[in-house]
Amino acid sequence: MGRLKLQSGIKAIEEEPEECESTSSNKAALACMINSEVGAVLAVMRRNVRWGGRYMSGDDQLEHSLIQSLKALRKQIFSWQHQWHTINPAVYLQPFLDVIRSDETGAPITGVALSSVYKILTLDILCLNTVNVEDAMHLVVDAVTSCRFEVTDPASEELVLMKILQVLLACMKSKVSVMLSNQHVCTIVNTCFRIVHQAATKSELLQRIARHAMHELVRCIFSHLPDVGNTDHALVNRGSSVKLEGIGHDTEYSFGNKQLENGNGGSEYDGQPSSVGFASNSSTGLVASVLDENTIGAGNGKEATAYDLHLMTEPYGVPCMVEIFHFLCSLLNVVEHMEMGPRSNAIAFDEDVPLFALGLINSAIELGGPSIRRHPRLLSLIQDELFRNLMQFGLSMSPLILSMVCSIVLNLYQHLRTELKLQLEAFFSCVILRLAQSRYGASYQQQEVAMEALVDFCRQKTFMVEMYANLDCDITCSNVFEDLANLLSKSAFPVNCPLSAMHILALDGLIAVIQGMAERIGNGSLGSEQSPVNLEEYTPFWMVKCDNYSDPSVWVPFVCRRKYIKRRLMIGADHFNRDPKKGLEFLQGTHLLPEKLDPQSVACFFRYTAGLDKNLVGDFLGNHDEFCVQVLHEFAGTFDFQDMNLDTALRLFLETFRLPGESQKIQRVLEAFSERYYEQSPQILANKDAALLLSYSLIMLNTDQHNVQVKKKMTEDDFIRNNRHINGGNDLPRDFLTELYHSICKNEIRTTPEQGSGFPEMTPSRWIDLMHKSKKTAQFIVADSRAFLDHDMFAIMSGPTIAAISVVFDHAEHEEVYQTCIDGFLAVAKISACHHLEDVLDDLVVSLCKFTTLLNPSSVEEPVLAFGDDTKARMATVTVFTIANRYGDYIRTGWRNILDCILRLHKLGLLPARVASDAADDSELSADPGQGKPITNSLSSAHMPSIGTPRRSSGLMGRFSQLLSLDTEEPRSQPTEQQLAAHQRTLQTIQKCHIDSIFTESKFLQSDSLLQLARALIWAAGRPQKGNSSPEDEDTAVFCLELLIAITLNNRDRIKLLWQGVYEHISNIVQSTVMPCALVEKAVFGLLRICQRLLPYKENLADELLRSLQLVLKLDARVADAYCEQITQEVSRLVKANATHIRSQMGWRTITSLLSITARHPEASEAGFDALLFIMSDGAHLLPANYVLCVDAARQFAESRVGQAERSVRALDLMSGSVVCLSQWAREAKEAMAEEEISKMYQDIGEMWLRLVQGLRKVCLDQREEVRNHALVSLQRCLSGVEGFQLPHSLWLQCFDMVIFTMLDDLLDIAQGHSQKDYRNMEGTLSLAMKLLSKVFLQLLNELAQLTTFCKLWLGVLSRMEKYMKVKVKGKRTEKLPELVPELLKNTLLVMKARGVLVQRSALGGDSLWELTWLHVNNIAPSLQSEVFPDHQGLEQKKDETGKSLVSDETGSAPSNETVA
d(CA 780, CA 947): 74
- Average pLDDT for residues 129-152, to the nearest whole number? 89
| Active-site residue (options: 261, 336, 662, 1450) | 662
Beta-carbon contacts of residue 1234 (< 8 Å; ≥ 6 apart): none
Task: Give, in degrees to the nearest 5, the angle at Cα 1157 between 1153 and 1158.
Answer: 125
Task: Give, in degrees to the nearest 5, the angle at Cα 580 between 575 and 584.
Answer: 75
Q: Which amino acid is at 751?
A: T
The yes-or-no verdict on residue 683 having pLDDT over 70 is yes
Spell out the SS3 assignment of 989-1014.
HHHHHCHHHHHHHHHHCCHHHHHHHH
Q: What is the pLDDT of residue 141?
A: 94
Q: Pick from 618, 712, 719: which is nearest to 672 by CA?
A: 618
What band does 372 get if pLDDT is binned at 50, 70 and 90? Answer: very high
- Average pLDDT for residues 1046-1071, to the nearest whole number? 90
**Residue 1119, burial from CB neighbour count under 10 angstroms (0-12, 13-18, 19+):** buried
Q: Pick from 1395, 1377, 1292, 1294: which is nearest to 1336 by CA?
A: 1292
pLDDT single digits (tens) 1169-1187? 888 889 888 888 888 888 9
Least confident of 226-235, 698-707, 835-844: 226-235
Q: Three-class SS of residue 1368?
A: strand
Assess contact for 1289 and 1343: CB atoms under 8 A: yes
Phi-psi region of 591 (alpha: psi -120 to 50; beta: other; left: phi over 0): left
Q: Which amino acid is at 692?
A: L
Assess contact for 176 and 127: CB atoms under 8 A: yes
- Which of residues 485 and 1145 earns the better pLDDT score? 485
- Average pLDDT for residues 649-676, to the nearest whole number? 90
Assess contact for 867 and 986: CB atoms under 8 A: yes
Assess contact for 1367 and 1312: CB atoms under 8 A: yes
Q: What is the pLDDT of residue 538?
A: 77
Assess contact for 650 and 695: CB atoms under 8 A: yes
The yes-or-no verdict on residue 1447 having pLDDT over 80 is no
Q: What is the pLDDT of residue 127?
A: 86
- Average pLDDT for residues 697-715, to the nearest whole number? 89
pTM above 0.85, yes or no: no
d(CA 859, CA 1013): 29
- Average pLDDT for residues 629-637, to the nearest whole number? 93
d(CA 1268, CA 1277): 14
- Average pLDDT for residues 21-32, to the nearest whole number? 71
Q: Pick from 612, 614, 615, 652: which is nearest to 636 by CA?
A: 652
Assess contact for 913 and 922: CB atoms under 8 A: no
Least confident of 176-190, 356-370, 1024-1038: 1024-1038
The whole-chain average pLDDT of the chain stands at 81
pLDDT single digits (tens) 555-573? 889 999 899 999 989 999 9
Q: What is the pLDDT of residue 62?
A: 63
What band does 988 get if pLDDT is binned at 50, 70 and 90? Answer: very high
Beta-carbon contacts of residue 230 (< 8 Å; ≥ 6 apart): 374, 375
Q: Count CB atoms within 10 A of the CB of residue 667.
A: 13
DSSP 64: -
d(CA 1059, CA 1104): 9
d(CA 713, CA 731): 23
Q: Which of 189-198, 943-952, 1439-1448 tops mean pLDDT?
A: 189-198
d(CA 353, CA 1370): 137
What band does 1316 get if pLDDT is binned at 50, 70 and 90? Answer: low
671 noted as active-site residue:
no
> What dihedral angle (degrees, nearest 10) is formed by the CA atoms of 458, 463, 464, 466?
-170
The yes-or-no verdict on residue 792 having pLDDT over 60 is yes
d(CA 1193, CA 715): 120
Assess contact for 1141 and 1091: CB atoms under 8 A: no
Q: What is the pLDDT of residue 349?
A: 55
User: For the residues of 1114-1163, what is the DSSP string, one character each?
Assistant: TS-HHHHHHHHHHHHHHHHHHHHHHGGG--SHHHHHHHHHHHHHHTT-TT
pLDDT single digits (tens) 417-454? 999 999 999 999 999 998 887 777 888 899 999 999 99
Q: Pick from 1052, 1042, 1043: which is nearest to 1085 by CA?
A: 1042
Provide, rounded to the nearest whole percent, the portion of the chain with pLDDT above 70. Answer: 82
The yes-or-no verdict on residue 960 having pLDDT over 80 is no
Q: Count CB atoms within 10 A of the CB of residue 1385.
A: 23
Q: Which helix (H) or strand (E) holds 828?
A: helix 815-834
Beta-carbon contacts of residue 1423 (< 8 Å; ≥ 6 apart): none
d(CA 168, CA 558): 54
Q: What is the pLDDT of residue 728?
A: 85
Beta-carbon contacts of residue 839 (< 8 Å; ≥ 6 apart): 892
Beta-carbon contacts of residue 605 (< 8 Å; ≥ 6 apart): 569, 572, 584, 587, 592, 593
What band does 1407 get if pLDDT is binned at 50, 70 and 90? Answer: low
What band does 531 get if pLDDT is binned at 50, 70 and 90? Answer: low
What band does 350 get if pLDDT is binned at 50, 70 and 90? Answer: low
Q: Pick from 329, 361, 368, 356: which is nearest to 222 by CA?
A: 368
Q: Which helix (H) or strand (E) holds 1373?
A: strand 1372-1373
Beta-carbon contacts of residue 845 (< 8 Å; ≥ 6 apart): 880, 883, 884, 891, 894, 897, 898
**Residue 1185, burial from CB neighbour count under 10 angstroms (0-12, 13-18, 19+):** middle
Beta-carbon contacts of residue 974 (< 8 Å; ≥ 6 apart): 966
- Which of residues 522 and 822 earns the better pLDDT score? 822
Q: What is the pLDDT of residue 1390?
A: 87
Q: Count CB atoms within 10 A of the CB of residue 1296.
A: 22
Least confident of 96-100, 1245-1249, 1317-1321: 1317-1321
Q: Pick from 650, 657, 735, 753: which is nearest to 701 by CA?
A: 650
What band does 333 get if pLDDT is binned at 50, 70 and 90? Answer: confident
The yes-or-no verdict on residue 1149 having pLDDT over 50 is yes
Assess contact for 755 and 761: CB atoms under 8 A: no
The yes-or-no verdict on residue 979 having pLDDT over 90 is no
Spell out the SS3 assignment of 653-671.
HHHCCCCCCCHHHHHHHHH
Q: How many helical (H) and strand (E) elements, i.e. helices and strands, does the chain have?
A: 66, 2
User: For the residues of 876-900, what is the DSSP string, one character each?
Assistant: HHHHHHHHHHHHGGG-STHHHHHHH
- Which of residues 736 and 438 earns the better pLDDT score? 736
Q: What is the pLDDT of residue 287?
A: 35
Q: What is the pLDDT of residue 294?
A: 47
Q: Pick from 537, 261, 224, 498: which is nearest to 375 by CA?
A: 224
Q: Three-class SS of residue 315?
A: strand
